[in-house]
Amino acid sequence: MGALQASFTSFTNKHGLGVACFIGLTVFFWVVFLIVLPQLAMVDFSFRYNLPQSQIGGANDVYTLDNYAYFFQGNDGTINTLDIGILVKTLVAALIVTLIDIAICYPIAFILAHSATGVAARLMVIGLIVPFWVNEILRAFAFRVLFGATGLVNGIGMNMGLWDVPIDFIRADVALYSGLVYAYILLMIFPIFNAVEALDRNQIEAARDMGASWWRVHWRVVLPIAKPGIASGATMVFMLTAGALAAPQILGGPSNLWFTQLIYQWFNQSANWQRGSAYAVILLLVCIGFVMMMMRVFKVSIGEIGR
């Protein structure tokens, strides 16, 4: 509490009381009315029966654990392997997308922070940002066209003789993974860039002068500095990938069901908002638990991510 008060006082002294109050009220409104209250309403829904409108608020409208029990057992009392399997597959896919984004974005962020200068740096930033002016739905459909049976990837591969018949990249989830990796790439690059940018170039030069190889320089010098940025980017990418809906709907194969699609079905096709809310809460809790576990494994605190 003392640290928070000190931060507020420092911000007020620098920017004025009016700006500080405006930002404080805006953040308060955002957190309470757009995050906390909707989540509490969904939690309340998740513990209710799916009743007709005429019975809501009546004697039968009581709290229950049936919606959560259904996720684990289903109606027949056996283990609900289908829904549990879909959740596990979604989390594994989100982890894979996150790891691919880290592998792609780390070198880009490092080059942007310590190698690219002047026009080259500005062109790199523009090249990263401008494609995201296109709507996410349109970008997803672009990837479906790109990896389609008559798309550019199959066309080039067949013309070069790499394969004779079109490959079904949609059914193999190649299009889905590619679309998700691309969709959140900026959320990985800029946190890593902000962390790596603070690194003193002289530390890298000193390590090189002492005979350290490039991989050792990055492992011992750069990565410890970049770790909070990587953790911040990985958290955002993992959470957004696990909660994605548009990309799995458009790019997913016919047999590939994302957990968010399952939630969508409960809300819209089955008109069972109570069970859909329970599934949404389960996804939220599992994702938060997974992220907290990864933070503990990699020894990164929430304060380091916040920086």
pLDDT, tens only, 227-248: 888 988 999 999 999 999 999 9
> What is the mean predicted confidence (pLDDT) over 133-151?
89
pLDDT, tens only, 94-110: 999 999 999 999 999 99
pLDDT tier, 301 (very low <50, low <70, confident <90, very high otherwise): confident
CB neighbour burial string for 226-242, b if at least 16 within 10 angstroms, e if fewer: bbbbbbbbbbbbbbbbb
Whether 150 has a pLDDT exceeding 60, the answer reads yes
Q: Which of 87-101, 136-150, 163-177, 211-225 has the lowest mean pLDDT?
A: 211-225
> What is the mean predicted confidence (pLDDT) over 106-121?
83
Residue 62, C-beta contacts closer than 8 angstroms, at least 6 positions apart: 48, 49
**pTM for this prediction:** 0.87
CB neighbour burial string for 121-141, b if at least 16 within 10 angstroms, e if fewer: eeebeeebeeeeeeeeeebbe
CATH class entry, domain 81-306 = mainly alpha
Q: Give domain limits for the chain.
A: 1-40, 81-306
pLDDT, tens only, 263-298: 999 999 888 999 999 999 999 999 999 888 878 877
> Are 84 and 75 contacting, i.e. CB atoms less than 8 angstroms apart?
no
